[in-house]
Amino acid sequence: MTAQESSRLGVCPVCDEDILARHVLIRYETDSDDREVWTECPGCGGVVHPR
């Protein structure tokens, strides 16, 4: 496992499971140049925006 894969992005807003970089499905930038991600939660299996 690489350092990038193990970096914590936040927690699932549904089940509070840790979300790691390896769970990223989509990366994008907003109009204000913020970088955002949607991930698959390893706990509940949902597609979530980590908090």
Tens digit of each residue's pLDDT (9 = 90 or more) over 6-40: 699 999 999 999 999 999 999 999 999 888 999 99
For 3, 10, 17, 34, 44, the CA distances from 48, given in Å and listed in that order, are: 22, 11, 11, 17, 10
Helices (H) and strands (E) counted in the chain, each on its own, are: 1, 5
Fill in the amino acid letter for 51.
R
| pLDDT attached to residue 4 | 52
The predicted pLDDT at position 48 comes to 98
Q: pLDDT at position 33, please?
A: 87
3-state secondary structure of 28: strand
